[in-house]
Amino acid sequence: MQKRKLGNSQLEVSAIGLGCMGMSFAYGTPLDKAEGIALIRAAVERGVTFFDTAEIYGPFTNEELVGEALSPLRDKVVIATKFGFKIDPVSGKQIGLDSRPEHIKKAVEGSLKRLKVDVIDLLYQHRVDPNVPIEEVAGTVKELIEAGKVKHFGLSEAGANTIRRAHAVLPVTALQSEYSLWWREPEKEIIPTLSELGIGFVTFSPLGRGFLTGKINENTQFADSDFRHTLPRFSAEALKANQALVDIITQIAAEKKVTPAQIALAWLLAQKPWIVPIPGTTKLHRVEENMGAAAIDFTPEDLRHIDRALSAVTIQGGRYPEHQQKLVGR
């Protein structure tokens, strides 16, 4: 597996990482713990060195899974986690945002224990908290770095102005946000900002939460425990309208003799040398398929062809319901 550095930092990771959320949370029945551990360790054996989790995934259970899986392999991997949500101690449900300094420090202590590590490689603020100045958040993480509990600072779903303000206090190593062939909004303002400041871009949902693989269509039924059934973009009407995008990607994949998922990931890798997608999966053959994308080379004409073809498709449906959409891009 090729390696990439996140922006101007010296944090080097595999060109394609592994998003671990879906093993424990959000996409239906959680993976059996033993199966999850085996999958994560098999990914390391195949060259993946970058693993993404968060305290809210579960909550807590995903960090525990990642910690147990990677504990014997600690010197071979980079582990990223996130803070920023308030979690009800009784129900375990998310009940708002909390990036107050005392909450950040408490969250980090919990993550260190669950991950079985002495230091967190990359710590993201999961969502921007409008009640806490980002300068205060960055200053708190700076204290944690000085204390040896964190190595690198990241933001997730932050707006360009917030990124600039945070970076002025503490260099931001990476932004984690959604970016894919069906969500290209970051190209307008976010990617130019990251390029200017020397910040890496870790892209989640690079396969459009599975849609870009070609395995989902308007007839797909999502379980109540699969959060995609709440997303406007996954309504039957939107899926039908957006199928034209998948048809184009599938055609390009056939021409290249690869899979649609590999086209989607290779396209992201071709955009900037500091972009690292973190597709999630619960299946080893999908890990292997995703890793294969790093070997695909696009010519400039290939990329122009993809842009031309996709420009004819207007994507239907919002990323999130309105209450969740308000939490992004701040």
What residues act catalytically? 57
Distance of alpha carbon 246 from alpha carbon 235, whole angstroms: 16
* 319 vs 330: CA distance, rounded Å: 15
> Cβ(155)–Cβ(168) under 8 Å?
no
Handedness of CA 60, 63, 68, 69 (dihedral sign): positive
With left for phi above 0 and alpha for psi between -120 and 50, is residue 116 left, alpha or beta? left
Integer Cα distance of 132 and 86 in angstroms: 13
By DSSP bridging, strand 94-97 and strand 120-125 are unpaired
Task: Give the residue from 93, 303, 65, 33 showing the smallest Cα distance to 187.
Answer: 303
Please tell me the distance from the alpha carbon of residue 61 to that of residue 69, in angstroms, as a whole number.
Answer: 12
